[in-house]
Amino acid sequence: MPDYVFATGPVVAIPVTGSEALFPVRRIYCVGRNYLEHVREMGGDEREPPFFFQKPTDAIGSRIPCPPFTQDFQHEIELVLATGKGGANIPAEDAAAHVYGLAVGIDLTRRDVQIVARKAGRPWEIGKALDHSAPVTAIAPLTGTLPVHGAIKLAVNGETRQAGDLAEMVWNCAEIIA
C-alpha cells in the first residue's frame, strides 16, 4: 500500500436500487444549458452545441449546508446518466450500452458567483463545484433504452419549483453520451 502524505478520502459511491451494490463515482460531468427555457433565461444561443463542466465527486451528499459567499443560491432538477462503460466517438445509437443506470440529481449553484465568473471569462467552478452541490438519488439500473420523454419535477416543501419533460432537452440522452 502506498505511503500517502495525508489520508485519502473514501471512494464516493451511490447506492443501486434493489441491490446491496454501490456505484463508484469517478467523475461528474454536467451539461450546461440543455433545456430551451434555461437557454433563453441565461441569454444563450438555442442552437449552440452542448458544453460540459465538472463537479468534484465529493459534491455528492444528502445534507446540504447553505454555502458562503452567495446571495442567489439556486437549484435545478437533473436527470443523471450513470455511465458504466467508457468510450470515445460513441454513435448515438450505441449510447445506451454505455449507461449503467439512471438517477435524479439536483444541481446546486451560487448563481451570482457563477455570473460574475462568466462575465469575466473565467471558469464556473467557484459557482458550481462547491461542497454538497450534487445530491443524487440511488441509481436504477437501465433496462431497455434511454428515455426520450418523461416528467421531471422539483418541489421544495410541497411547492413545485421546476417541472418539465425530458423531451424538452435540446440534446437528448443518446446525443449527450455521443
pLDDT tens string 39-80? 777 777 777 787 899 999 989 987 888 889 999 999 999 999
**pLDDT band for position 105 (cuts 50, 70, 90):** very high
The parent domain of residue 173 ranges over 13-177
Question: Does residue 8 fall inside a structural domain?
Answer: no
High-pLDDT (> 70) share of the chain, % = 98
Phi, psi of 93 (to 5 degrees): -70, -15
Question: Does residue 141 fall inside a structural domain?
Answer: yes
Question: Does residue 37 fall inside a structural domain?
Answer: yes
Question: Does residue 92 fall inside a structural domain?
Answer: yes
Q: Which triple of cell numbers denotes residue 157? A: 416543501
CATH number of the domain encompassing residue 84: 3.90.850.10
Question: Does residue 6 fall inside a structural domain?
Answer: no
Question: Does residue 4 fall inside a structural domain?
Answer: no
| Rg for the chain, CA atoms, rounded | 17
pLDDT tens string 126-167? 999 988 999 999 999 999 999 999 999 999 999 999 999 999
High-pLDDT (> 90) share of the chain, % = 71
Q: What is the mean pLDDT of the chain?
A: 91
Question: Does residue 132 fall inside a structural domain?
Answer: yes
CA 128 vs. chain centroid, Å, equals: 11
Distance of alpha carbon 151 from alpha carbon 168, whole angstroms: 10
Query: Quick one: pLDDT at residue 32?
Result: 81
What total number of domains does the chain contain? 1
- Full-model pTM: 0.89
Coil, helix or strand at residue 116:
helix
Question: Does residue 1 fall inside a structural domain?
Answer: no
